[in-house]
Amino acid sequence: MLIRRIFAAGLVAAVGLGSASAALAPAAMAAARTPSATGSFRTWRAAQDAAGFQLIRPTRLHGLTRAGHIHVTRCDVTGELKKREVFAAYGSARHRELNLEQNNSGEPCGNFGEAKDLGTFRVHSRRATLFGACGMTGEPSCGKRDIFLFLTWKKHGIAYQAQSHDERRHTLVSFARSTRNVG
């Protein structure tokens, strides 16, 4: 009789736990589909789902390969912490490098520091401004290739910044113009 009671109590507990986990299963599955909002992602599609806004990706990489994952972080600007910033690097910081940064705050999430205005270009029918860390005291000449370049533009409330190191200006502009919406 005691064995029957223990077995019955165990059966009730097992059925109770089974129904509780069955009741929680839809919530757990929904949580698994909910974007994490920040992190490192292998694919542009996964990064777009996490960021929560339409991303662009480069299609012309000028012989470079992506260096690691695509990173989705919070925008570090005060008052914009709910916004997301997405960053991907191609190449190597020691050699040639191209980067693409985009965020849904409408303004840059950071400051690349003091830079010289090197002109304007068109990227997807938008005015893009090219800046260079050059031509100032302590910086190399703007005619050199081994400088940092920053091309910034905005479109539909999204701020974009393509960056390069040890690349020519036309390579950075070509990289930015080659971007397409992530499917």
- Token pair for 39: 């992190």
Q: In terms of domains, do 16 and 72 share one?
A: no
30 pLDDT higher than 80: no
Q: How many CB atoms lie within 10 A of CB 60?
A: 14
CB 122 within 8 A of CB 112: no
Q: In terms of domains, do 5 and 48 share one?
A: no
| Mean predicted confidence (pLDDT) in 152-173 | 96
Predicted pLDDT at 5: 41
CB 83 within 8 A of CB 75: yes
Q: In terms of domains, do 54 and 16 share one?
A: no
Residue 98 DSSP label: E
* Segments forming the whole domain that contains residue 47: 39-181
pLDDT in tens, 5-24: 443 444 334 334 344 444 44
Q: In terms of domains, do 64 and 94 share one?
A: yes
Q: Across 28-32, 110-114, 150-154, which has the greatest mean pLDDT?
A: 150-154
**For the chain, how many structural domains are there in total?**
2
Q: In terms of domains, do 97 and 118 share one?
A: yes
178-181-182 Cα angle (round to 5): 115
CB 140 within 8 A of CB 146: yes
